[in-house]
Amino acid sequence: MNYKGILCTRILNRNCLGKKLIRRCLSQTSKSEPEEKQTHFGFQTVNESEKEEKVHEVFRDVANNYDIMNDTMSFGIHRIWKDIFMHRLGPTKNTKLLDVAGGTGDIAFRFLRYIQNLKCEEGCHVVISDINNNMLEVGKERSKNLKLDPKLITWQEADAEKLPFEDNSFNAYTIAFGLRNVTHIDKALKEAFRVLQPGGRFMCLEFSQVNNSVMQWLYDQYSFQVIPVMGHVIAGQWSSYQYLVESIRKFPDQEKLLEMIETAGFREVTYENLTMGIVAIHSGFKL
C-alpha cells in the first residue's frame, strides 16, 4: 500500500473510533438522565414539574369568582357540607388549626364562628395556608369584610407537600377540596402527619365516588355537560372548570384514600359519605 493509502486508512479508522466514542458518550448521558415522572392533570398526562404550574394557573384564573362558582355549581350545598365538616371536627379551646388549601377562608371562618358561638376562643388560632397567593388575597379581603379578629388568623403562602412549619405545631389539620390538586398526595399526607401534635386530628373534605348508579349517571352528565358551561358564562373559564371536573374523576375513591391516610401514619381512620358519595369526609389521628 502506498503512502496515500496508508494515510487514508488511518483517517478512516480515527473517524470510526470518534463516532463510536460519541455514540457511547450519548448513550451514557441518556442513561444518566432519568426521564421525568409523569402524572395526571385532569385527563391529560403531564410531567410532574408541569402540574403544579398548571394548577396554579387554574386557581389564579378562578380566584375572584371561586366562591360564586361554588354556590352556583353545588346549588349552595357546599355550604352544608362545610358546616357538617366543621361540626365533625368539633374544635374546643386551645385548638391550633392548620387549614391547608384554604385560601378564600371558607373552612377557617367557620372554625372562628364555631369557637365564638361556643365562647371557647381561649388559646385558639388558625393558620390559613395556600400555595396560590391570589386565593389568599381573596380570603384576606373577605376577612376584613366579615370583621374577623385578625389576631386569630395567620395567612401563609405554602406548598402542602413542603409545609414551612415545625414538627408537632398543630392539634388539628383540615383540607377541603384541595387534596386532589396536589401533585403527590402521599407527600401532602406525610406533611400533615409531621406538623400535627401527637393526638392531633387530620380531616379532609373532598369530592369522591358516587355510590348509586343512577345518581352517578346524572352526576356525570351534569359535571361534564353543564359545569364547564357555567365556568365559561360566569367566570370566563371553560378549561379551568373542565379540569376541576376531570380532577374529581382521577382522585382516589373513599377506600383507596383511607388506605393512603393510614400509610402516612394516621390511625383510627374513617370516612363518611355525604350526598350519596359526591363528597366524603375522611378523618384520622396521629397516635
Q: What is the mean pLDDT of the chain?
A: 86
Residue pLDDT, tens place only, 204-257: 999 999 989 999 999 999 999 999 998 888 888 888 888 888 889 889 999 999
Residue 72 annotated as lining a ligand binding site: no
CA 205 – CA 137 distance, rounded (Å): 22
CA 249 – CA 210 distance, rounded (Å): 10
Question: How is residue 174 written as a grid cell?
Answer: 383540615
Spans of all domains in the chain: 55-285
Residue 280 annotated as lining a ligand binding site: no
Residue 188 annotated as lining a ligand binding site: no
CATH topology of domain 55-285: Rossmann fold (3.40.50)
CA 91 – CA 107 distance, rounded (Å): 12
Q: Please give the model's pTM, rounded to 2 decimal places.
A: 0.82
Sign of CA dihedral 107, 113, 115, 121: positive
CB-side exposure of 45: number of CA atoms within 13 Å? 3
Tell me what the mean pLDDT of segment 102-122 comes to: 94
Say if CB 170 and CB 96 are below 8 A apart: yes
